[in-house]
Amino acid sequence: MTVLRLAWRNLIGAGIRTWLNVLVLSLSFVVIVWVQGFLEGMNAQVRDAMIAAEYAGGQYWHEKYDPYDPFTLVDAHGVLPPALEEPILTGDAAPVLVVQGSIYSGGAMRPVLLKGVDPSQKVVSMPSSFLAQDSTELPALIGSRMAKSAGLKQGDVVTIQWRDAHGTFDAREARVVQVMTTSVPSIDVGQVWLPLEQLRSMTDMPGQATFVTVGRSSRGRPPVPGWVFHDTGDLLKDLAELIKAKSVGASVFYVILLFLAMLAIFDTQILSLFRRRKEMGTLMALGMTRGQVIELFTLEGALNGVIAAVVGAVYGIPVLAYMAVHGIALPKVVDSMGFAIGERLYSTYTPGLVLGTTVLVLIVTTIVSYMPTRRIAKLKPTDALRGRWT
């Protein structure tokens, strides 16, 4: 306890030198937590949006279906087996039929994916209920990005062309019944949503689907011959890899911040050892061991980290809380980058993140504070009192 009190008094007595070190260290605390919270928030926001609007509890894909290879769509469909029909009838699964097609709008032909979905489905949050309108015209649902690129708006009539199961081309006019606003581009860009039964009739594929999305409350995922189940971990694997890559890149920034802070602590310790030689000699002459002197100087350096954590909490908590509650406004260009992020990005801070960052910085600070003090082990009290090293 005596060493702790002495270390605290010496640290506060150092004045501006101490507070400069504390400022740099506290900035490292806040920036590291903020950047990590930013990435965690992006991960959680994109993940939640994609699960709610597209993936739900996972998907059964037809064995020939590959969303990254449009050439597989010709054969990537099949009649739904009884094991998948049952949850569909109970409303716990939603089949989707995917067909290649094109639309004619604005004097140009555009390739699109025609996706048939049950208008009454409740598995995902996509507003498919707009497709249930009673009309002689074919109802079509598109996203805001698709509407912008094709120059369409609600109520417009567009010509749709497709090829049926026998390879015959056909065309029909459809009316845009709704332009949905969604943060998930994978259900928006280059896609036109149609009523499932009408698309099945148009393509002569009765009772068929390309994939089946199951609800998050579904229990059990039995193997189904000819169909491959992908849970949300598989479906969001690309997102997880992206966040991991971003975290690795951000770690370089953390290292630079910590290096600058630790350099300031190291220089301070070296300066203290040089200027306080007589003090060390006096302490040892009064009965303090070399180990206690080393402990004193190490503790002084470590207390920089403790004070920095307190100071960082004073100005960091309000700033980070504001980021978590109000978010950060994103420019419109982000909307075209393929991320399922809305107009604002909200950071996420967990106790593990804050505690882990604090412990990391305190450990590194203590190690850096100890390194220069090893020279004290060879110091003789008589030499120290004369102001010199052996």
pLDDT score recorded for residue 385 = 59
Scan for tokens 């926001």, then name that residue: 45
pLDDT > 60? residue 336: no
Highest-confidence segment of 194-198, 280-284, 307-311, 380-384: 194-198
pLDDT band at 71 (very low <50, low <70, confident <90, very high): confident
pTM score, whole prediction: 0.75
List CB contacts of 277: < 8 A, sequence separation 6 or more: 379, 384, 387, 388, 389
Query: SS3 of 289, please?
Result: coil
pLDDT, average across residues 2-17: 75
pLDDT > 70? residue 332: no
Domain identity same for 159 and 245? no
pLDDT score recorded for residue 342 = 61
pLDDT score recorded for residue 334 = 54
**DSSP code, position 214:** E
Residue 225: inside a domain: yes
372's tokens: 């220069």
Residue 251: inside a domain: yes
Domain identity same for 77 and 172? yes
Domain identity same for 269 and 158? no
Domain identity same for 167 and 255? no
Contact 30, 317 (CB under 8 A): no
Share of the chain above pLDDT 70, in %: 89
| Total domains in the fold of the chain | 2
pLDDT > 70? residue 331: no
Contact 70, 100 (CB under 8 A): yes
Mean pLDDT of the chain: 82
Residue 67: inside a domain: yes
Residue 316: inside a domain: yes
Residue 153: inside a domain: yes
Domain identity same for 243 and 220? no
pLDDT, average across residues 15-37: 82
> Of 205, 230, 255, which residue is a domain's last?
230
Domain identity same for 244 and 226? no
pLDDT score recorded for residue 36 = 83
Domain identity same for 255 and 355? yes
pLDDT score recorded for residue 216 = 83
Where are the strands (E) in 293-390, listed by range? 328-329, 344-345
Q: How far is CA 159 from CA 46, 152, 153, in A?
A: 33, 12, 14
Residue 390: inside a domain: no
30's tokens: 């806040």
**DSSP code, position 303:** H
Domain identity same for 221 and 101? yes
pLDDT score recorded for residue 63 = 92
Q: How far apart are CA 185 and CA 340, in angstroms?
A: 6
Q: How far apart are CA 183 and CA 125, in angstroms?
A: 12
Residue 119: inside a domain: yes
pLDDT score recorded for residue 267 = 75
Residue 364: inside a domain: yes
What is the dihedral sign for C-alpha 193, 194, 199, 203? negative
Better pLDDT: 197 or 372: 197
pLDDT, average across residues 65-76: 87
Domain identity same for 111 and 242? no
Domain identity same for 125 and 219? yes
170-223: pLDDT as tens digits? 999 999 999 998 888 888 888 999 999 999 999 999 999 999 999 887 666 778
343-353: pLDDT as tens digits? 677 888 888 88
97-120: pLDDT as tens digits? 999 999 987 778 899 999 999 999
> Of 195, 210, 230, which residue is a domain's last?
230
Q: How far apart are CA 96 and CA 118, in angstroms?
A: 8
Residue 102 has phi, psi (to 5 degrees) of -155, 155
pLDDT > 80? residue 303: yes
What is the dihedral sign for C-alpha 74, 75, 78, 83? negative
pLDDT, average across residues 246-268: 76
Range of the domain at 212: 59-230
> Of 184, 213, 230, which residue is a domain's last?
230
Domain identity same for 284 and 352? yes
Domain identity same for 100 and 179? yes
pLDDT score recorded for residue 77 = 92
Q: How far apart are CA 182 and CA 117, in angstroms?
A: 17
User: 60 pairs with which residues across the strands?
Assistant: 212, 229
pLDDT score recorded for residue 193 = 95
